[in-house]
Structure 1
């Protein structure tokens, strides 16, 4: 007996949706001979899970959590409410489906200690035998439009710091670092033009500047309550040396690869933030100075002249999400139909080129069938994130750049 199942999405070959959109598609069952079942059930679910262990005093302690965002059950054939048997005849059978996504869904993510996952699953239910499961993962993106999130993302950002080396009579004059960004919000595919001004009043040279874009993932557990942070470098660049007692200004481009958008509010179990790190190495002293500046990674870029990007729906009053990690919702959100909601992410011909959808190279691939004993088809799944082919912002170091002061705050602490 050979049964195959394909789950496809309408007008969306990437299987990538924004929160609030309608997920519609078709389930295709192919049988080489008649097959007896009680029901064919389609489940569309979204959830986050975290799980890790830590060793302490010779023993290992397990931390875990789960949070649900979406649960939709549709019987395509039969029902589990009765014991009637149904026969799926040999041949090809198509079943259409549709499911509304809540507006406050966090973005899909597969990480080392947890995931935010959305799947469509077809179950061939047979109480007299094991059920057969066919699963298709799809990507859901938080709609983070940099044009509307906060006005500060458009403004130039500035940060500076001083450091002296050694102490007492050997104490050096200060080494000053200034960082300048033309804006605080970016999208994958752009480059961050980082202007670094090094005022080196010390008697030793800065041998090298190291720049990196870091993704910080904070995982929370519920049983027991705990958290940990994973630090992932997603992009690197280097700058030249700076001679002793001299000043030098360098602009270095830091590329942004495919990566999940910033999300620190919608999930109570997994939060994602980004920061730019610039390190000045003083090798002769075997020391360094580190500067950190937070940046925001979005899904819709800041508008530039002549470019328009189609924007999916922005918010809903139907689901505001749990109040806090310690106050999970008592039941899953119910979202009413919203009428005309775009399901195709492709902009119209008058808009800018649509983004490509690519896997993130610095995150994990997940096993979307890990909860099923009798799963068929592909187990591995990796979310796809939009990568734009648009101009990167022009580096700006204006006379009043100091007025755009920036207070460093550590996401880790």
Structure 2
């Protein structure tokens, strides 16, 4: 017996006829009778035209076909999401939306709008994230101990440092600077 009882796509207000330019909204409903292993739930929106005609010339006939794809978009509704946006010295992960005005006798006008994607990673589930970061530095007679409140952070979070500086040099320290370095591992 299949765990999948039903899979349904429904449009807002039970509409299935739309005017050009109108927003299409809806939902995908999945009903299960028991747990089911799945990698994800996707939806594809596609618009295309197809035509076929036959030309008869005496004893032979020639079949002509034509196809035009208007759009073909697949989105993940549930499952592994997109990788988190990232900028690094050797590459990055970037996202943008691009709008284009297609002009017949002139250069097209385009606009790119960049946006950030953050993965919904729960640091509470990661045992390594609860470890405190502690960095002792010593250069006689100066000693510094810094620590963070935890060992991992998500993009956009504030990293709070606390520490102790022991100055045995006899010279006043007027300023301290902390530099954080990010290491990317495959």
- TM-score for the superposition, normalised by structure 1: 0.25
Higher relative contact order (CA 8 A, sep 6+): 1
- TM-score for the superposition, normalised by structure 2: 0.47
Query: Which structure has the greater CA radius of gyration?
Result: 2
